[in-house]
Structure 1
């Protein structure tokens, strides 16, 4: 096999270590850090460190540039599967997909965990809140003090019960032979073992990223599909019932994430002309958030495009009164423009979630 070169003609072997070449190859194959760590049997932090070194040595701006570079220099060949440089370890080692973690944690609703499809007992609510903090900080170590502050807030426990809860969680979540197979400890605190657990929030973010990529590529139907899949991950109020300031802040953040995704999906449906399909969800969202002007404007537009002009104007009047009574303000530009569009019988109105400057 010919020597693998950088895009400037220099041999990669002269710039990167063996493990850096392995990591670059795996990145070019589309593997995530957790998958690379599992495939190469190294810590996930080491993967991030190697990738930073690769970018510095090769002058690459970001991960996307590293993927492109892996193809451009011939480390990975499109349409022929991944290949490795002749100086590296055995072919196919990094490209082999990592085994799917057997333990799954869901925070997009009441906290749940399952191992091989079977539910796991997570103990009482404070213990669950500790696990939720680890799951939502999956890529870093969380200190004992951070866990105490996040789970108990101002009402700190008299004794340090965090290690007790960690011990119980390790015991209940144990997959392999060792008690540390899921939750690891270092001198700074605790973290979930890289590659040992899947958390539904990670999948949520993947779908959000996919929706954004589809929008930028001019594929609104694909963006709507990705948003719908992301919304399907929610099983109710995120972290429902869990105590502590950390859970409360994450509950607010994830609830707002859900609302934004719903608006994004519905706006995409309207842009695709699927007005009747969007009305029921828009009604529910408008009832839940009666002061949300973009939602009200989307509902007005959907009703108007479905031949329900009077209902669309009623939505405007109702929202205008609520804004005046509860906030003491008049409708904003987006609501006023949609109202004027309907009054004039305009057939081609502006999108309701984007305004022209």
Structure 2
């Protein structure tokens, strides 16, 4: 096991996520990607992605340098750790303030709520109980009070009493691995929360990928930005928090759905900047069908079609969106959509006539 002092003295390691520290520790112990994936119950491509993020965050050129770094910072102690064997749950990296080792829980909210305990699907009970777990998963860095849970999950239909402690008790039982005494839901004077470093939530994973994509853009690597954004979009499995009741779930459904649309737009914009016009058009066309009243999506699709030499189709998009806005909302197109239309008309105005088409 890595020593607490060594970890605290290494700012670069402290910058890694819990999962990345696990992967780096296993790498330093001499394990290959397939062995790490098997031990941590992850797809192998996710392990590869984690390794790539580790190299970027630590400023290291390759995995050999990462192994050396794991020893230099004290993350791996010579002679200790699993050499060429499956990674056991006890290889997790802990700081002094972290709880005792517990079960590894993964929660997916970007679709119907799903949970995996130590890599295996787990039933977390009826929908209100699922909504309590979702509320905790959506607030990973703070405690959520009993009143917040009542308001967020039940709203005006709050039953009062001890319903929240009862649901938390049931969740703790469902999310306990074997006879392990350590629950993944903690309680303090402020309320309840998921134990840090033990739980992975797909919503947080999306934001990590988006942050990395933005860093890649600033570094001038748009291909990497597109790849990371695609990984983030792949985590969406349908309507976020589908079927969960309560005001919190309803608000988060809207926010996460909008987040997905924004990410898809951002990815398409990067693709256009890379000259991948056909890919951008295909993705934006599908998004425009899902979001017929979304003017930024329509404007970006028009720009992509214009870039692809399909100006007539771009004008069709404008007319279709204009009609939907008028019929459904009773409004005219906004400035963004009008500017996109004007750019197309202006290009038509300056296009060479038939007699000039072959002139250099």
Same fold (TM over 0.5): yes
Provide closer, same or farther for how the CA distance between residues 112 and 85 of structure 1 changes in structure 2, counting only shifts above 3 A: closer
Q: Which runs of 5+ in 2 are unaligned?
A: 25-56, 81-90, 94-100, 351-360
Matched, 1:154 2:156: yes
Matched, 1:243 2:245: yes
CA distance in 1, matches of 2:213, 2:348: 30
CA distance in 2, matches of 1:100, 1:281: 41
Q: Which has the higher helix share?
A: 2
Three-state SS of the structure 2 residue aligned to 1:191 is strand
Provide closer, same or farther for how the CA distance between residues 91 and 136 of structure 1 changes in structure 2, counting only shifts above 3 A: farther
Calculate the TM-score normalised by the size of structure 2. 0.71
Matched, 1:306 2:294: no
Q: Pick from 56, 60, 69 the counterpart of residue 81 of structure 1.
A: 69
Deviation at 1:90, TM superposition (A): 7.0
Provide closer, same or farther for how the CA distance between residues 84 and 278 of structure 1 changes in structure 2, counting only shifts above 3 A: closer
2:16 is aligned to 31
Provide closer, same or farther for how the CA distance between residues 97 and 166 of structure 1 changes in structure 2, counting only shifts above 3 A: closer
CA distance in 2, matches of 1:314, 1:106: 38
Provide closer, same or farther for how the CA distance between residues 175 and 84 of structure 1 changes in structure 2, counting only shifts above 3 A: same
1:124 is aligned to 126
CA distance in 1, matches of 2:337, 2:256: 26
Matched, 1:274 2:262: no
Conserved 8 A contact 2:102-2:180 = no
- Indicate the RMSD between aligned Cα atoms, in angstroms: 3.7
1:185 is aligned to 187
1:14 is aligned to none
Q: Which runs of 5+ in 1 are unaligned?
A: 1-17, 40-66, 72-76, 349-357
Provide closer, same or farther for how the CA distance between residues 336 and 92 of structure 1 changes in structure 2, counting only shifts above 3 A: farther
Deviation at 1:166, TM superposition (A): 1.1
Deviation at 1:31, TM superposition (A): 2.6
Matched, 1:260 2:262: yes
Matched, 1:137 2:139: yes
1:147-172 Cα distance to aligned partner (Å, 9 max, x none): 11111111111532111111111111
CA distance in 1, matches of 2:170, 2:68: 48
